[in-house]
A = this chain, B = another copy of it.
């Protein structure tokens, strides 16, 4: 039964418009998107779009906030999760995604996200939203790096530089998969991150003791 509370129904309407925008963007891409394509995906009066949003840029800005929210916040970590596991989970979630309980898959969300990312050079508001989001991802990596360094699990590194690099490699791997159709890009990126970046987090004494261990084992 639909709620008669106006603010509730307004939230529902906005959610329906966001979902319609998602479907329309997936189908047409940003460049070819017209307001009426969104209207065609909407199961209610199209005038509601114009009532809630002031044109294409306003609607797409709201949509960006919406998709960025969906993208984040679902890495399951607690204070008990050790830094290595947390770092792994964060990287894997960004690279391989988690399926949410909605009609859209991870790569469908990423496809739309990367399509809008490229528009940031033409639109200051999109740029602001996307810059903040990029920064939040980077911050979440900085935090786990700093925690691991503090807990003496990780070797001391420049957490700012390393987290920027990890965030960048994740971004470009998704883009290669989406724009160039290179399906294996996220897997390649994961190996490269392990080989070239996370290897610096291993404490030197751990490396030395593993070498000793393996020579004691007669290997």
Contacts and interface: CB of A to CB of B under 8 A. Distances in A.
Interface stretch (A4-12, A74-82, A193-201, A209-217): A193-201
Interface stretch (A42-50, A85-93, A118-126, A142-150): A118-126
Nearest to A32: B122
A182 B118 CA distance: 14
> How many chain copies?
2
A173 B120 CA distance: 15
A53 interface: no
A interface, size bucket: 35 or more
A29 B121 CA distance: 9
Contacts of A180: 120, 127, 130-131, 134
Nearest to A170: B172
In this complex, the member of A121, A134, A173 whose beta carbon has the largest number of chain B beta carbons within 10 angstroms is A121
Nearest to A178: B121
10 contacts: A29-B119, A114-B118, A117-B118, A131-B181, A161-B192, A164-B192, A165-B192, A168-B172, A171-B175, A196-B200
